[in-house]
Chains A and B, each alone.
Chain A
Amino acid sequence: MKPAPFELARPATLAEAARRLREGDGMARAMAGGQSLVPMLNLRLAPVDCIVDLGRIAELREVRAEAGSVTFGACVTHAAIEDGLAHDPTGGLMRRIAGGIAYRAVRNRGTLGGSLALSDPSAEWVSLMMALDATIGIAGVDGEREVPAREFTLGAYTTALAEDEILATVRVPVLGPDARHGSFKMCRKTGEFAQSLAMAVSDPGLHYARVVVGATEGAPVVMERAAEAMRRAGGQAWSAAAEERVREAAAADLAGAGLDQDAFAADMHAASAVAAIREAVRR
C-alpha cells in the first residue's frame, strides 16, 4: 500500500506546470487535492513517473463572480463550496452537492477541478457541471481553450484534456430567480461513489432545462426527452401520470444512449432521473 517511487514537481505557475507535464512525455500526472490520485498511487493502479502538484498555483484557488457567471479555479475545494465560502451561482445546489461528496476530511482537500479532470463517471461534479452547462477552461503550453462540460467528459476516466493540458477553471452560469433543481444519489454507504446519480436543472426564465444521469459505465447521459418531460411537468401539480411520463421519457433516453446496461441498471438510472426531476418541479 505504498506508492512506487515518483518525482514530484511543485510549480508556482500554470505555465510551468504545463511545461512539466509536457516533459513527462505521458508519464506525468497533474495532481490537485490528490484525494483520488494518491489512493490510486498507493494501490499502484496509476503508473506515473512524475506528479505535478498544482497546490502552489494561487490563481487556481480563485473564484471570480462576473455578469451572468461565476468562474471557479480548479483547486477550489469541495469544502469551500459546501461552506458557502465560494459564490454559489446555483442558489444552493452546488453547496448541497458539495456537502454530499465523500467525507469532510476528503472534502477539505478534494477539488472541483480534480474531480472533473479525473472524470470518474460516478462523481457528482461531472454530472452537475453538464447539467448546469458549465464551461471548462483548459491551460496548456500552447495557450488556453474552452470546452463545454458536456463535451469535456468523453467516457469513464476519459476527458478532452491532452497529456500536457491542465483543467484550470470551471465557469458556471448564474441560474435565474425562477430556477429549480433536483438531485438524487443512490449509494450503498454514505459518502461512497454513487451507483446511480441524477441532476435536473430547470430555469424557465432562460428557457433552459437539462437532466443528466451519471454513474453509468461511460460518460454521463444528457437526457433530452426527460428534460422535455420535466419542462412540461413544471407549473402543474405532480401526479402519478406525470411521473409515469417522466419515467418513460427517461427510459427512452437511456435506451438510446448506447449503454451496455442490464434491465436493473436501466430501471435504477430511470428511477434516479425521476427522483431528481420530481424534486425539481414538484410544488
Chain B
Amino acid sequence: METMDITLRINGEPVRARVEPRTSLADFVRERCRRTGTHLGCEHGVCGACTVEIDGAIARSCIALAACCEGAEIRTIEGFDDDPVMRIVREAFRDTHGLQCGFCTPGMLITVRDMLLRDRAGDARRIRVELSGNLCRCTGYAGIVRAVELAAQRLAQERANGTVVTRAAGRAMSGEG
C-alpha cells in the first residue's frame, strides 16, 4: 500500500504522519489525531457534520484528502474552545435548544461562526439558506435558527461594548484545488 508523509497543523499543533492517499481529513483527525469532535455522518459531503476549517475557510473534512492538506492549518471543533465568537455561538445553542443529541452540533457551530464572521446571519430565511448544508435530525431546526439569531444579537452587542473584537474572516483568494 502506497503511503505519503504529510506535515500539517491541527489546532495549532504540528503533526507529522504517514497516510494512505485515500485517507480523508476527517478520518485523519479522528483516528490518527484522536480529535473525535469532528463527526462523520454521510461521508459524501452532504450532511455537514464533519465541517472543519482548512486555512481559515470552512470545509467538509470527509471530502478533503488528508494528503492534499500538506502544510495546511486545520481547526477542528476542539480548536475553538477559547474562541470568543465560538463562546457566543455555543451559549446561544445551549440557551435556545439548538441541539438535542449533539451529533450535528460541531459542524453547526463551525458553520454558524463562519456565517456570523461573514455577516450572513440576516433574517430567519437567510439563516436557513446559510445552514442548508448542515443536517439535523433532532431539532427541526427552529431552535438552531433561534440560536443563530441570538448569537448574532449578542455578537453585535459585545462588539458595540468592545468586549469581543473580531476581524473579518480572512480567506485566500482561492483555496486548494
Spell out A's residues near B (CB within 8 Å): 1-8, 10, 31-35, 38-39, 41-43, 51, 53-55, 61, 63, 73, 75-77, 79-80, 83, 85-86, 102-106, 108-109, 111, 114, 189-191
Residues of B within 8 A of A33 (CB): 175-177
Contact B43 A1 (CB under 8 A): yes
Contact A103 B132 (CB under 8 A): yes
Evaluate whether A80 and B173 lie within 8 angstroms (CB atoms) in the complex, with A1-B44, A103-B48, A109-B59 already known.
yes
Contact B65 A35 (CB under 8 A): no
* Whole-angstrom distance between the Cβ of B32 and the nearest chain A Cβ: 14
Say yes or no for B51: interface residue by CB 8 A criterion.
Answer: yes
Contact B68 A108 (CB under 8 A): no
Say yes or no for B64: interface residue by CB 8 A criterion.
Answer: yes
* Whole-angstrom distance between the Cβ of B101 and the nearest chain A Cβ: 21
Q: List 5 A-B contacts (CB under 8 A).
A: A1-B44, A3-B22, A43-B44, A106-B133, A191-B133
Say yes or no for B1: interface residue by CB 8 A criterion.
Answer: yes
Residue in A32, A39, A85, A189 whose CB lies within 8 Å of B177? A32
Contact B62 A42 (CB under 8 A): yes
For the complex, give the distance between the alpha carbons of A1 and B17 in Å.
23
Q: Taking CB as reference atom, which chain B residue is nearest A40?
A: B44
Residue in B67, B133, B174 whose CB lies within 8 Å of A105? B133
> How many residues of B are counted as interface, with CB atoms below 8 angstroms from the partner's CB atoms?
42
Contact A114 B177 (CB under 8 A): yes
Residues of A within 8 A of B48 (CB): 103, 105
For the complex, give the distance between the alpha carbons of A79 and B177 in Å.
12
Contact B70 A10 (CB under 8 A): yes
Evaluate whether A104 and B177 lie within 8 angstroms (CB atoms) in the complex, with A1-B43, A35-B63, A55-B68 already known.
no
Residues of B within 8 A of A53 (CB): 65, 68, 177
Contact B63 A108 (CB under 8 A): no
Contact B59 A108 (CB under 8 A): yes
Contact B58 A104 (CB under 8 A): yes
Contact A39 B4 (CB under 8 A): no
* Whole-angstrom distance between the Cβ of A102 and the nearest chain B Cβ: 7
Within 8 A of A (CB), among B1-42: 1-2, 4, 20-22, 24, 27, 42
Residues of B within 8 A of A77 (CB): 174-175
* Whole-angstrom distance between the Cβ of A157 and the nearest chain B Cβ: 17
Residues of A within 8 A of B167 (CB): none
Most chain A CB neighbours (cut-off 10 Å) among B27, B133, B174: B174
Residues of B within 8 A of A39 (CB): 44-45, 63
Contact A111 B133 (CB under 8 A): no
Residues of A within 8 A of B118 (CB): 104
Residue in B22, B63, B129, B171 whose CB lies within 8 Å of A190? B129
Residues of A within 8 A of B176 (CB): 33, 55, 75, 109
Residues of B within 8 A of A4 (CB): 22
Residues of B within 8 A of A41 (CB): 22
* Whole-angstrom distance between the Cβ of B4 and the nearest chain A Cβ: 6
Say yes or no for B150: interface residue by CB 8 A criterion.
Answer: no
Most chain B CB neighbours (cut-off 10 Å) among A33, A39, A105, A111: A105
* Whole-angstrom distance between the Cβ of A88 and the nearest chain B Cβ: 13
